[in-house]
Amino acid sequence: MREINGADISAAVARMCMSANTKLPDDVRRKFEEGLAGETTDAGREIFRQLLENADLAFETKLPLCQDCGLAIFYVEMGEDVCVPGGINEAITEGMVTGYKDGFLRKSSCDPLTRKNTGDNTPAIIHIDFVPGDGLKISYMAKGGGSENMSRVTMLSPSQGWEGIKKFVVQRVVEAGPNPCPPIILGIGIGGTFETAPKNAKRALLRKLDDTHPDPKVAEMEAELLAAVNKLGIGPMGLGGSYTCLGVKIAVAPCHIASLPLAVNVQCHSARHEEVEF
Amino acid sequence: MATYTLNTPLTAADTDKLRAGDVVLLNGIIYSGRDAAHKKLMELLDKGESLPFDLTGASIYYVGPSPAPPGRPIGAAGPTTSYRMDAYAPRLIGLGLKATIGKGKRSDEVKKAMAEHKAVYFGATGGAGALLSKCITASKVIAFDELGPEAVREMTVKDFPLLVINDAHGGELYAKPNLDD
Ligand code: SF4
């Protein structure tokens, strides 16, 4: 059994929350630069210019990239031979609370009915998968409400197949329009169940924008969806252009013979995530 | 497409000349308010009580800023999605509100109210919270402090960069999705 100190985990999580909210990931930045050069509309290029300036300013001043510092989402791969005295959930939550406080990040969590703010951004949303070995990997994502609100889960009929999936995804992007701060990134969960499809969709957003899915069939599906969505011409901030979507990331999982679950997680351009390994 | 520098409070003459696509650099006092604050404003109106600020010619910015770090008037302060305030906006526009600032689409009811009362809807760049905060030179909570990020703030802006998304003449800037195959 490998013991990992909870305080070390908390400190790393706090740092990660602060850093991810002020430093745009390099792969996202490269896409902005590509958009600045390649977007077909003046308005769209101007948005990319502002977003790059915003990223520089956030990095320099440590002001958050976006005021919506999100609910704090964690995907954890925990080795079966790892033990965290005091508990892994507690260690992550404590780190998140410290990071959001010390980093002057916005606390955006509230009671669903009274709408009273919980005050410290709790609860942290933690998904743990147990994996063989004694490693520990914690991925953090700041997920804003604007893009999350445009996300959907649906249970398609198996007969609808790939065509039905494409139709639903394109329709989702059309209906979302300018609302989720395009250019967007799409995390898509195909298959699984009612609860695992959205979990897989969101986890897919942790992938690098410029990676290629290891399964060539899925890679092809991602490219096809990206092209279909970018043909819509919604453009940066909905002002028109060819950069509506910066990337499509699909996760496929087996499902019930009666079902075709589909989850579309819409991520805004402020795709803030980082990971830490122990 | 023109560029205008405007000062708050806005007049009907200010808003009447604006067309979708125009750039506006806004100066003066604007008020922050989002979901929870709007609900409270409605409760005050229902009870016949006065609002924490004068609506005549006012501009409301749909924003919940991040906390101000030491030495700064405000944290990151970009727009939130506007449709969530669509249920409340026509009533406020009817009472003199001249501009709302946010991101994303508005309902037909809001567009109708804007045309009727010569109000406009400005878009600020979503996700550019650090950049936009540079144009906010002062900020203080004037109501509903208990709402934290959702409190109503009086903010002073200097050349706050906005795009006219919906004008008072039925014009709209957002691109229509290209659906033909
Ligand atoms: S959708 Fe994203 S970029 Fe836009 S306001 Fe929300 S968190 Fe920020």
Q: Report the pLDDT averaged over residues B48-71.
A: 97
Confidence of residue B179 (pLDDT cuts 50, 70, 90): confident
Range A50-53 contact pairs with CB under 8 angstroms and sequence separation of 24 or more: A50/B125, A50/B128, A50/B131, A51/A236, A51/A269, A51/B125, A51/B127, A51/B128, A53/B128, A53/B131
Residue ID of nearest Cα to ligand 1 atom 1? A146
Q: How many CB atoms lie within 10 A of CB A157?
A: 10
| B95 is a domain residue | yes
Domain boundaries, chain A: 2-21+65-143, 146-271
Average pLDDT, chain B: 97
| Domain residue limits at B30 | 3-166
Ligand 1 atom 8 nearest Cα: B127
Interchain CB distance below 8 Å, B179 and A68: no
Mean pLDDT rounded to a whole number for chain A: 98
Shortest CA distance to A47 belongs to which of A244, A229, A185, A209?
Answer: A244
Cβ-defined contact of B127 to A65 (cutoff 8 Å): yes
3-state secondary structure B99-168: EEEEECCCCHHHHHHHHHHCCEEEECCCCCHHHHHCCEEEEEEEECHHHHHHCEEEEEEEEEEEEEEECC
**The pLDDT value given to residue A246:** 98
Across B150-170, average pLDDT: 98
pLDDT at position B44 over 80: yes
Q: What is the structure's pLDDT at B181?
A: 58
Q: Which residues of A touch B126 (CB under 8 A)?
A: 66, 146, 181, 237, 268
Q: Is residue B178 part of a domain?
A: no
CA distance B108 to A10: 48
Q: Is A164 in the pocket of ligand 1 (CB under 6 A)?
A: no
B156 is a domain residue: yes
Residue ranges of chain A whose pLDDT lies below 50: none
Q: Is the CB of B126 under 6 A from ligand 1?
A: yes
pLDDT of residue B86: 98
Question: Which token pair is A140?
Answer: 């953090």
CB-CB under 8 Å, A269 with B66: no
Q: Which of A66, A119, A239 sits opposite B78 (nearest CB)?
A: A66
Does the residue B180 lie in any domain? no
- Write the ipTM: 0.95
Mean pLDDT value across residues B140-162:
97
Catalytic (active site) residue B38: yes
What residues of chain A, 14 to 73, have a C-beta less than 8 Å from chain B? 43, 47, 50-51, 53-54, 57-58, 61-69
pLDDT at residue number A127: 98
Ligand 1 pocket member A267 (CB < 6 A): no
User: Who contacts A36 (Cβ-Cβ below 8 Å, separation ≥6)?
Assistant: A45, A48, A49, A52
Judge residue B3's burial from the number of C-beta atoms within 10 Å of its C-beta, 0-12 exposed, 13-18 middle, 19 or more buried.
exposed
**Interchain pair A65, B130: CB under 8 A:** yes
Mutation pick for ligand 1 pocket among A24, A66, A246, A265 (CB with most ligand atoms within 8 Å): A66
pTM (2 decimals)? 0.96
CA of A72 vs chain B CAs: smallest distance (Å): 15
pLDDT higher than threshold 90 for residue B1:
no
What is the number of structural domains in chain B? 1
